[in-house]
Structure 1
Amino acid sequence: MKLTVVGGGSTYTPELVDGFARLRDTLPIEELVLVDPAEDRLDLVGGLARRIFARQGHGGKIVTTADLDRGVEGADAVLLQLRVGGQAAREQDETWPLECGCVGQETTGAGGLAKALRTVPVVLDIAERVRRANPGAWIIDFTNPVGIVTRALLRAGHRAVGLCNVAIGLQRKFAGHLGVAPADVHLDHVGLNHLTWETGVRLGGPSGEDVLPKLLTGHGDTIAADLRLPRPLLDHLGVVPSYYLRYYYAHDEVVRELRTKPSRAAEVAAMERRLLDMYADPALDEKPALLAKRGGAYYSEAAVDLAAGLLGGSGSPYQVVNTYNAGTLPFLPDDAVIEVQATVGPTGVTPLPVPAVDPLFAGLMANVTAYEDLALDAALRGGRDRVFRALLAHPLIGQYAYADTLTDQLIAHNREHLTWA
């Protein structure tokens, strides 16, 4: 089995490699290819990746290359984890929206749209080259904004599934609260990428006992603190929202906070410099503890499970993925990309049935889906008017004056990445 990681020079990659090494019985990789144009970073990450495999007794071969076509040739699955523009572009995404009093974040609001505009054309080019090299290869997208990028891939006819680590992180936390193994916790997870709610927490599988009420009663304060949301809100909702819902439920509070502290991009950039210094140490043969603060917790385990399921291995039978709605949520278009529990196998993913969704959540999902429609149109066809329409549709923007100003700022800050600007 050959698996290729595009964006393999990311400081995330040792987390992924550690999972491949630990879970080799689930996903028996014979060749792992790390592709990245930043060859200096790639050499450091690749060296550590080989040492991790050696330490854990994994016999697979690790190849590094800046040549995308060479890297994806013959791959059974290609995992995308790239960041167009790097942390410098992310820094912009997180700062200029604040000038209008709107949240600055790389996947939500105006910053999220900027990232989509930079990313979608690049990902589609990569996917076409994967298809030419191996039409049967699966594309697993971890590149944000996952929902919009996955929708672009599916609309172009690629064998693609989107992946996010929010659900697996909550599963692990809930398992700890309940004193059970993570595999025993099944989430009734519903929404769009970075706009999800846990409407049930079941023991043993989709038909198991729902212990969410017990979880909220016994551990609601801890869960609320993790989400940085007030406990009474959780009690009112009766569900556990993703921590990304804080941008919606406490938008103005978040903006005030973001204006008074360094951006997350600046923190990550500093962390990445420290990590790369660590990776250069030839004695280091395991992922450093600092990597846990970089983000992407449990990403490797989610990726192994998904790849194993798609490639006929022994992955978990039910997994949270991003895929076409196809009637699962009747209030959304069939070609909307939703994030829900699904069965996973070599023929693809099939969402599990979802009970009726509370209008409180369904309404916001429908609004953001409309924004994503317009965002994808802007990413594919360009033009100031399309960018403006997407921003005007976003529930965190919505006002004409804000959308107009943010449109000009988005284009100004991203001109080098926008072929039409």
Structure 2
Amino acid sequence: MKIAVVGGGSTYTPELIDGFARLNAEVTELTLVDPAADRLSVVGPFAERIFRRYGHAGRISWTTDLDEGLTGADVVIIQLRVGGQNARISDETFPLECGCIGQETTGAGGLAKAMRTIPVVLDVADRARRLAKPGAWIVNFTNPTGLVTRALLDAGHRAVGLCNVAIGFQRRFAAMLGVEPEAVTLDHVGLNHLTWERAAYVDGVDRLPELMAAHLDELAETVVLPSRILESLGSVPSYYLRYFYSHDVVVEEERGAPTRGQKVAEMEATLLEMYADPALDTKPELLAKRGGAFYSEAAVGLIGSLLSGDGAVHSVNVRNNGTLPFLSDEAVIEVSCRVDGSGATPLPVTPVGPHLAGLIAHVSGYEELAILAATLGGRERVYQALLAHPLVGQHDLAEGLTDLLLAENAAHFKWVS
């Protein structure tokens, strides 16, 4: 089995490599693809050392040639970042000029990232359709995952989107309950980076109420929200709901503080120095601070189910197709699914109350407009998407953010004059 990792020069990649080395012996070739030859020359050999340390028989290769990397692949993992950390830093700062959240996956920054990313990902997917094996799966880990996955599905690709939020909660809940992670099935529902854990089933019994009773303050601290919110909702929102429930507080925190992108850029420089050490053959502790906890377990598990058809449960991004009746069938949602060789099928979802459904529907409407802006371009489409976003939603803000977004990203949009 050949797996191609597009964006393989990322400092995330050793996390993924470690997962395949430990958990999937069926990989015969894992090819890292990235235009950054300098990064590949460091990450590639380090990945090879990790495989050898675990005694994995698979071959690690790396290339700057996208077509070469995709040829013959059974699975294509996409984890790229168009514009690098500099673009991320821009996404995290320009919205602050209008008093809005600066973040790379939601609000104006998230739209900017989607518009840079979606055309590139679609080009990769079109090449994969020609060069990878017939029926090859595309596993998208590129943010904003829901938007990118919808663009892939709209273009007819065999794709599923993956995020590590759910598996992080599964692992946390399992530790609190003293059970194996696989014993916990989440009622994980919403859109990518807009999800809530509404139940945690163990042997068919929902254990979330007792978890919240015993660990309410700890869970609230984990998602950086007041415990009052979790109490009222009766569920645990993802950390990303903080941008909605505590918007103004976060904006004030962000003003004048180093952005996450700036911190990650410094961390990446250190990680690459560490990876270059020919004696290093295990992922360093610093990598855990880079983000993407349990990314490798989520990716390896999902790919294993897609190829083996084992029917295991994974939380992924898929077409709605009636799962949430208040959304269109074409919307892409993030829910717990049973996964086999034909793809991911959402588990039955208990009715979603208006306190969640309203926000989900609002953001899903924005996402439809964001896809149009990313695939067709045009200032008016950017403005319309921002006007529809619940974190913007005002004419003056949408106008100002549109101008800033286009100015910051003019080099990435061919249609900007």
TM range (shorter): over 0.9
Classify the secondary structure of the residue corresponding to 1:151. Answer: helix
Counterpart check, 1:419 vs 2:375 = no
Q: Separation in 1 of the partners of 2:12 and 2:307?
A: 23
CA distance in structure 2 between the aligned counterparts of 1:59 and 1:146, rounded to whole angstroms: 32
1:284 is matched with 280
1:385 partner SS: helix
- Tell me the distance in 2 between the aligned counterparts of 1:306 and 1:24: 11
**1:161 matched to which residue of 2?**
160
Count, aligned residues: 415
Residue 50 (structure 1) aligns with: 48
Q: 1:117-132 to 2 correspondence within 5 Å? A: 117-132=115-130
| Equivalent residue runs for 1:2-401 within 5 Å | 2-25=2-25, 28-134=26-132, 135-204=134-203, 208-312=204-308, 317-401=312-396
CA distance in 2, matches of 1:169, 1:242: 10
SS at match of 2:173: helix
**How many Å separate the matches in 1 of 2:301 and 2:243?**
29
1:167-223 Cα distance to aligned partner (Å, 9 max, x none): 00111111111111111111000000000001111113xxx1001110000011100
Displacement after TM superposition at 1:260 (Å): 3.3
Structure 2 CA distance for aligned equivalents of residues 137 and 43 of structure 1: 27
CA distance in 2, matches of 1:349, 1:209: 23
Deviation track 1:250-308 (CA, whole Å, cap 9, x = no partner) reads 00000000113100000000000000000000000000000000000000000001111
CA distance in 2: counterparts of 1:125 and 1:231, whole angstroms: 44
1:223-253 CA distance string (max 9 Å, x none): 0011111111111110000110000000000
Give me the whole-angstrom Cα distance separating, in 1, the residues matched to 2:353 and 2:40: 46
Q: Which runs of 5+ in 2 are unaligned?
A: none
What letter matches 2:112 in structure 1?
Answer: A
Is 2:309–2:339's contact at 8 Å kept on the other side of the alignment? no
Counterpart residue identity of residue 233, structure 2: L
Contact 2:146–2:192 (CA under 8 A) maintained in structure 1: yes
Instruction: Provide the C-alpha distance between the structure 1 equivalents of 2:154 and 2:227, rounded to a whole number of angstroms.
Output: 40
- AA matched with 2:252: R
Q: Aligned equivalents of 1:360 and 1:419: distance in 2? A: 40
Counterpart-to-counterpart distance in 2, 1:411 and 1:228: 32
Deviates more, 1:246-255 or 1:173-182: 173-182
SS in 1 for 2:32: strand
Deviations 1:385-410 (CA, angstroms, capped at 9, x unpaired): 00000000000000100000000000
Contact 2:42 2:272 in 1 (8 A): yes
- For normalisation by structure 1, the TM-score amounts to 0.98
> SS at 2:369's partner residue?
helix
2: distance between equivalents of 1:192 and 1:69? 32
Divergent runs of 4+, >6 A: none
How many angstroms does 1:419 deviate by? 1.3
Bigger CA drift: 257-266 or 274-283? Answer: 257-266
For residue 305 of structure 1, give the secondary structure of its aligned residue in structure 2: helix
Q: Separation in 2 of the partners of 1:346 and 1:24?
A: 17
**SS in structure 2 of the partner of residue 94 of structure 1:** helix
> C-alpha separation between the residues in 1 aligned to 2:29 and 2:83?
28
Paired amino acid for 1:387: V
Q: Tell me, what secondary structure is at the counterpart of 1:83?
A: coil
Measure, in 2, the Cα distance between the counterparts of 1:334 and 1:313: 25
Deviations 1:33-62 (A, max 9, x none): 000000110110011100000011001000
* Post-superposition offset of 1:353: 1.3
> Which segments of 5 or more consecutive residues in structure 1 lack a partner in the other structure?
none
Counterpart-to-counterpart distance in 1, 2:316 and 2:347: 11
What is the distance in 1 between the residues matched to 2:30 and 2:105?
A: 29
Amino acid at match of 2:56: H
CA distance in 2, matches of 1:320, 1:234: 21
Letter of the 2:126 counterpart: E
CA distance in 2, matches of 1:197, 1:313: 27
* Distance in 2 (alpha carbons) for counterparts of 1:344 and 1:417: 36
Q: Deviations over 1:315-350 (max 9, x none)?
A: x71110101000101000000000001111111111
What is the letter of the counterpart of residue 40 of structure 1? D
Identity percentage over the alignment? 64
